[in-house]
């Protein structure tokens, strides 16, 4: 608990905004969450969290005495720190759409008061957006004072599914802006930096964790750090998938190869998992955003473009494996297991399953889809797709000619495959996440490696 509680406003109640609000309230600050969506605000007031993130509902419930939810910007007037946590979706050419950032800044401006206030860009934004927001405040705030109203870039590095752990025990905290504003941010984050808060039951402190590194830098460098970090992680995944393709052709095992190269301290073991490729709201958007920034300055970035191209190709690799075995998909029933872009979230943005369902339907297959968590959201957001929603894994596999494992949910990792295969018409499994580790009575295709001995059998 902080000895110096502050008043905070958080604009936006998506993944970043809710995580930020929960974190700051937990370490002792008074927080108001603001969103233009009355539906979201009403849900939050009723104690319901509009997204799926393990442990978040419990953490929000435990700090409800320090949390207020509203559609009004009036609370900005009394806030010491105002976080902008709105979406920046990519446009057709990959350039981030800043309309929500611009709207938030314009709505914040009239409510700024005479004491020192820090406006924090938590959203992922193009390099130079911090200066742009500063100009917007100048234009729209009647009492604007450049010495009292400072803009800071404080990018988030959360992974959906482990957002609480990432928020409470980060590798680093990046702060970009004027030194006076960074001092205020240091006060705000003091319990986090010093790790003096009580760890919540939903996210215990790792035994080996000490404290985060604080990176104080400029607005532009902080904005670049966020983009460059995500682009590099996307590059690692695409690199692993490219190597996996060659592993299949020469008889190597991508998992053994990834382990061997990852043990080199200069490379590291994380984000070298071959599979269906990356998805979600960050990697594709941020990599495309960097390419767009380079294009704006007449600077080509071919390595980043290759990462995107390889990720797109990886989804076709899965279809190719299916086609090699079934020859044609016309009249075939194909089951897609996993719709969210990764396990432990219901986020469907840029999910590989979306592209696979689209392509399977185009090729004439009847598609059945299942996900432990994301199906209700898919029913709202994927109305343009053609598929049957399965009520259970057993229902999903019933009379299927083939199965594609797209998301590595624990439900699928621990499945008794031999028991469930009995309801299938065919025995073909495209394991695009390499989660099947023991022999089963089916023909299994994996990514970058031979399936476990005894699985690969002739299809009848």
- Of 282, 318, 326, 424, the catalytic one is 282
Structure tokens at 396: 């999903």
Give 336-357 as a DSSP string. EE--SSSTT----TT-HHHHHH
> Which residues face 121 on adjacent strands?
84, 153
Task: Answer yes or no: are the C-beta atoms of 7 and 155 closer than 8 Å.
Answer: no
159 closest CA partner among 345, 14, 308: 345
Which sign, positive or negative, has the C-alpha torsion 320, 326, 328, 331?
A: negative
Does residue 247 have an active-site annotation? no
Helix/strand/coil percent split, the chain, to 5: 40, 15, 45
Contacts of 388 (CB under 8 A, 6+ apart): 366, 367, 368, 369
Among candidates 8, 179, 180, which has minimal Cα distance to 81?
Answer: 8
Strands (E), 85-201: 117-121, 149-153, 172-176
- Active-site positions read 282
């Amino acid at each position: 608990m902080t000895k110096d509680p502050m008043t905070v406003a958080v604009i936006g109640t998506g993944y970043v905004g809710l995580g930020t609000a929960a974190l700051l309230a937990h370490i002792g600050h008074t927080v108001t969450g603001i969103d233009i969506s009355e539906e979201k605000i009403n849900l939050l007031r009723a104690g319901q969290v509009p997204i799926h993130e393990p442990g978040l509902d419990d953490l929000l419930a435990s700090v409800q005495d320090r949390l207020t939810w509203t559609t009004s910007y009036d609370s900005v007037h009394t806030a010491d720190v105002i976080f902008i946590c709105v979406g920046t979706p990519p446009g057709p050419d990959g350039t981030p759409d800043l309309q929500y950032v611009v709207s938030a800044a314009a709505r914040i401006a009239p409510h700024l008061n005479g004491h020192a206030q820090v406006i924090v860009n938590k959203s992922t934004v193009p390099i130079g957006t911090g200066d742009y927001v500063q100009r917007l405040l100048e234009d729209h705030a009647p009492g604007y004072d450049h010495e009292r109203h400072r803009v800071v870039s404080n990018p988030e590095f959360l992974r959906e599914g482990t957002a609480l752990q990432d928020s409470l025990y980060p590798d680093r905290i990046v702060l970009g802006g004027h030194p006076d504003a960074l001092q205020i941010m240091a006060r705000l984050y003091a319990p986090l930096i010093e790790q003096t808060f009580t760890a919540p039951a939903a996210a215990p402190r790792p035994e080996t964790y000490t404290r985060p590194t604080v990176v104080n830098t400029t607005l532009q460098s902080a904005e670049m750090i966020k983009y460059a970090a995500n682009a590099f992680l996307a590059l690692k995944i695409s690199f692993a998938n490219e190597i996996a393709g060659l592993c299949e052709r020469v008889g190597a095992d991508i998992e053994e190869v990834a382990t061997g190269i990852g043990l080199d301290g200069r490379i590291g073991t994380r984000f070298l998992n071959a599979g269906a490729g990356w998805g979600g709201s960050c990697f594709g958007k941020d990599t495309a955003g960097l390419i767009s920034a380079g294009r704006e300055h007449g600077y080509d970035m071919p390595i980043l473009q290759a990462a995107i191209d390889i990720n797109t190709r990886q989804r076709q690799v899965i279809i190719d494996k299916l086609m090699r075995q079934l020859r044609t998909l016309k009249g075939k029933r194909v089951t897609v297991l996993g719709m969210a872009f990764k396990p432990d979230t219901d986020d469907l943005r840029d999910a590989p399953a979306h592209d696979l369902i689209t392509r399977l339907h185009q090729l004439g297959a009847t598609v059945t889809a299942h996900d432990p968590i994301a199906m209700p959201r898919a029913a709202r957001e994927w109305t343009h797709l053609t598929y049957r929603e399965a009520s259970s894994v057993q229902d999903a596999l019933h009379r299927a000619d083939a199965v594609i494992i797209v998301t590595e949910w624990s439900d699928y990792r621990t499945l008794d495959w031999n028991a469930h295969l009995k309801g299938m018409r065919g025995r073909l499994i495209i394991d695009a996440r390499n989660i099947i580790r023991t022999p089963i009575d089916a023909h299994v295709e994996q990514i970058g490696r031979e399936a476990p001995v005894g699985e690969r059998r002739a299809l009848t």
